Amino acid sequence: NASLLGILQHPDGTVLKQLQPPPRGPREQEFYNKVYDSDCCNSILLELREYLPKYFGVWSPPTAPNDTYLKLEDVTRKFNKPCIMDVKIGQKSYDPYASAEKIQQQVSKYPLMEEIGFLVLGMRVYHVSSDSYETQNQHYGRSLTKETVKDGISKFFHNGYCLRKDAIAASIQKIEKILEWFEGQKQLNFYASSLLFVYEGLCQATTVQLSDVTVAEKRGVPKGLLPGGDILEYNNNIHVINSTENGKIEASVSKGLSKFYALHKKAYSKRHHSQLKVENLEQDNVWKSSTCITQEHLNGNVIPQLEKVFCHMPAEIKESANVEVRMIDFAHVFPSNAKDEGYIYGLKNLITVLQNILDS
Residue 204: predicted pLDDT: 63
- Residue ranges per domain, the chain? 1-74, 75-204+319-359
Residue 131: pLDDT above 50?
yes
Residue 218: predicted pLDDT: 43
What average pLDDT score do residues 240-253 get? Answer: 38
Phi–psi pair at 192, nearest 5 degrees: 55, 35
Residue 120: pLDDT above 60?
yes
The closest of 60, 1, 49, 54 to 25, measured between CA atoms, is 60
pLDDT digits (tens, 9 = 90+) for 174-184: 999 999 999 99
Task: Give the CATH architecture of domain 75-204+319-359.
Answer: 2-Layer Sandwich (3.30)
Phi–psi pair at 9, nearest 5 degrees: -100, 125
Residue 54: predicted pLDDT: 98
* Distance, CA of 136 to CA of 109 (rounded, Å): 17
Residue 106: predicted pLDDT: 98
Q: How many residues does the chain have?
A: 360
Residue 277: predicted pLDDT: 34
pLDDT band at residue 11 using 50, 70 and 90 as cut-offs: confident
Is the link from the previous residue into 62 a cis peptide, with omega within 30 of 0? no
Q: Which helix (H) or strand (E) holds 154?
A: helix 149-154
DSSP, collapsed to helix, strand or coil, labels residue 82 as strand
DSSP, collapsed to helix, strand or coil, labels residue 328 as strand
pLDDT digits (tens, 9 = 90+) for 180-237: 999 999 999 999 999 999 999 997 654 444 444 444 444 433 333 333 433 333 333 3
Residue 282: pLDDT above 70?
no
Residue 326: predicted pLDDT: 98
The closest of 330, 264, 336 to 26, measured between CA atoms, is 330
pLDDT digits (tens, 9 = 90+) for 59-108: 999 999 999 999 999 999 999 999 999 999 999 999 999 999 999 999 99
What average pLDDT score do residues 147-162 get? Answer: 97
Residue 7: predicted pLDDT: 83
Share of the chain above pLDDT 70, in %: 66
Residue 157: predicted pLDDT: 98
